[in-house]
Each structure stands twice: as C-alpha cells, then as structure tokens.
Copies of this chain bind each other. A is one copy, B any other.
C-alpha cells in the first residue's frame, strides 16, 4: 500500500513550488484584490497646502491681543480657489473646509462659535490657539513617503490612495493562467438531463467560483476517460496554462488515468495520497514552471483540497502571507482514523471569540451539506477525541 504524505509535509512541498508570474499594469479601478508590484508614494505633501478643516472664518491671532473679538469680513476663500490674502490684519476671511488657508491668517474658528451680522463676525470663544482647525501642509505624509507597500493587497482603502496620488495605472503581480479539468464519463453538462447512471458536473464550477475570489478567471474543460485524449489535451494545457487543476481520476479505479498520463508527460510527482479525510487521493506535481493540482473527484474532497493547498500556494506565489485563523470548537468531536480530519463547521462570533459548531455531513460526496458550512476545521492526526473549548485552525470560504 502506498505511503500517505502527512498534511503538513504536503503543504511544505507545495509552498516550496510557488511561482512568480511577473508583473502587469492595470487601471487602478481594476486593481481591487490584486497585489501591488510597486510601492505607492506620496506625489506631494498631504495635505498639499495648509488646509482649512472647518467652515468658518480665518484671521491672525495677533489681532486678538488687544481684546478685539469683532472682525470685518473681507471676502470668502472657497475650496478649489487660488489662495487669497488677508489685506487688513484686523479683518478676517470666511473660509470653507478643504480651502487653502489665506495668506496672513493662522487660525480658523467654525461658524458654530461665531455670530455674523452686517459683514462683521463676532467671536463667541476667545481661548484660541495658533493653527486651530488647520490641517498643516505635510502633516499626514511628506512628499516621497511610501503610502502603500509593494506586496499589499488592494482594498477600497488602497484604491482611494491610488486615486489621491494620481496613479491611474498601477503595477500588480500577474495572475496565473489556470485550466480546471473535469474527467469522468459519468458526468454530463449542467443543461443536460442525466441518464440513470449519470450525474451533472459540479466540481469544475465550484473550483472556478473559488478561483474568482482571487480574481482568477479560469478556463473550464472536460476530458473523457481515455488515455490518448488525456495525453494530447494535457500536453497542450501544459503549454497554454500555468496551473492545471484536475478533479477526479486520481484514485485506484481502472479508468483513473491521470497519474499515469502525467507521468508519461514527465510531470514530476511530488506526492500522491495525503493522510487526511476527505481528500486522501490528492496528487501534486510540477513540470518546469507548470504546476499540477490533481484533486480527488468527490465534491467535498476537491473543495477542501483547494482551500488547504491551492489557496496557500496561490497566496505565497503572490507574496501574500496567508492568515492563520483559528476557532474554538463548540462541541466535543470524535474521529477514529489516524488521518487529519477536515471537520465541516459553522462559524459564529461571540463577544470577539470565533466559535466553530460541527455540521454533520454524509461524507465527501455530500456537496449540499456545505451550504450550511462556513469553514473547515483542521483536526490533527494522532488523536481521536477533540474537546469543546479547544482551538484549531480553520479554512473559511465565504465573504461577508
């Protein structure tokens, strides 16, 4: 019997075979969820000028020295207008949030704290400091400062920064080209009515959908359980794609040709069969810069292998550090086989603690059970009993 590779070892091998897919330039509005391949620096000071941060009046604090609290209004400094100058040091200018602070002023008092009548503003508060309600030039960031580090994942916050510094096009790490291949002569298309002994394809679509979370648009294909056809098509895929992702035909069946065909095509096998449930028949190999993930055909097996192995490989290839989330088991669980067990759980945040409630399924074929599930909890091998209150790693797959 073939020796099983432990889960930690399988993952170690996989992260030792990450790839660099290079760099491309995209419009900043298309960079969400992408990984920056350049640092984003401040093109000017932020704020770029002494910026009024309250609607009100601007004046000079020297004018307060003789007890004066009434100022004639010389005019209005609007946001988006060139800087005005206060002409008479005893007067003031109305100023709007976002405007440049007028020359010869050093203090802003908001409308809430003044009264305006007949062109004069009277202060209702006099304990005033220089630079009050003024966001000083360069206070947030100096020109040239790195605002977003290379290797950051772009969220709405980074999109805003890209806009601010005028980065209309931005360098991001290129995505791998992925083909998702189903095999299995029992499979028919989604729009077909299966005969008694047939079922519809589903794994290729769950995989393609999971890839979309990482912004990867995969090509989906189906191959018959036929050695020659597999050989010819896989030869072509090894040229056209960076990643080949199979689902099925990696176990002991008479038509499980994938390992043999990959061997013929000189794809180096790094391991076949992992000591885990579900997902034991998982096969992993590489040929030059090409990476082959051959997942088992059962829906839940494929699902969990994607999360545990491909997702980490992808994140590491992109230079991202995968988050190691843990959760607290909310019920005792027993699992006898000496395998790492990926337990299906529903997740709940209770007062800042992440609780994982086991959701009973009918094994690796029961895809419908996953709709109640938020994550897989990884229970280590070498133990049979896992207790309420213990913490274990989780693999989540939903966005909120």
Contacts and interface: CB of A to CB of B under 8 A. Distances in A.
A157 to B, nearest CB: 4
Contacts of A158: 371
Interface of A: 1, 28-29, 32-33, 42, 44, 46-49, 51, 53, 55-56, 76, 78-83, 94, 96-100, 110-112, 135, 139-141, 147-148, 152-153, 155-168, 184-187, 190-203, 205-210, 212-213, 225, 251-256, 297, 299, 303, 323-328, 349-355, 362-363, 365-371, 373, 391, 396-400
A139 B194 CA distance: 19
B161 A253 contact: no
12 contacts: A47-B199, A56-B252, A80-B185, A80-B186, A82-B197, A98-B199, A135-B363, A147-B371, A148-B371, A153-B398, A156-B303, A353-B354
Contacts of A399: 33, 155, 213, 399
Given A46-B368, A160-B299, A352 B373 contact: no
A365 B47 contact: yes
B371 A352 contact: no
Closest 7 CB pairs of A and B: A80-B185, A80-B186, A157-B370, A160-B206, A156-B209, A55-B253, A163-B202
Contacts of A163: 190, 200-202, 205-206
Contacts of A184: 79-80, 98
A33 B397 CA distance: 12
Contacts of A152: 371
Listed residue (A186, A225, A354) with the most chain B CB atoms within 10 angstroms of its CB:
A186
B202 A155 contact: no
B354 A80 contact: no
Contacts of A297: 97-98
Given A163-B190, A190-B163, A368-B161, A205 B397 contact: no
Nearest to A100: B197
Contacts of A400: 323, 396
A251 B190 CA distance: 54
A196 B83 CA distance: 9
Contacts of A1: 112
A365 B53 contact: yes
A94 B254 contact: yes
A197 B81 contact: yes
A185 B78 contact: yes
A365 B187 contact: no
Contacts of A167: 190
B371 A212 contact: no
B80 A187 contact: yes
A329 B159 CA distance: 28
Contacts of A42: 368
- The winner among A160, A196, A326, A362 for most chain B CB atoms within 10 A is A160
A368 B140 contact: yes
Contacts of A53: 363, 365
A140 B299 CA distance: 13
Contact of A254 (B78, B135, B168, B195): B78
A370 B112 contact: no
Contacts of A191: 166, 168
B200 A140 contact: no
A397 B1 CA distance: 48
Given A354-B353, A362-B140, A256 B55 contact: yes
Contacts of A162: 190, 205
Nearest to A145: B368
B160 A28 contact: no
Contact of A140 (B111, B148, B185, B366): B366
Contacts of A164: 199-200, 202, 367-368
